[in-house]
Structure 1
């Protein structure tokens, strides 16, 4: 079974204080999540992967 591919729009910018901020939104819509730093973004993505947040693949398993 291949993992389901999704497209994310990730925006990063440098704040006036020099820190890097980020936001993430699915390319097909949904809410935009904002992160105070890149560590928070990384934590969110790792947590989403562990919890299968992105959903299960709709492709059948096994040989074709």
Structure 2
């Protein structure tokens, strides 16, 4: 019986972590789609005003780096 309890205590943090990770992941996806995280990062100056995702910028081959 003790062996079963020890195994349960070993896996309990893993189970709790998985149960907490799913809602946190869904919240993260919601905030990214809602642009809330980007606004927060901009407000705290962790990203610049000129920052845009790569897919929103136009590619021009004549520009030299």
TM-score by length of 1: 0.37
Whichever of the two has the greater Rg, that structure is 2
Q: Whose strand fraction is larger, Structure 1's or Structure 2's?
A: 1
TM-score by length of 2: 0.37
Greater relative CO, 1 or 2 (CA 8 Å, sep 6+): 1
Q: Whose helix fraction is larger, Structure 1's or Structure 2's?
A: 2
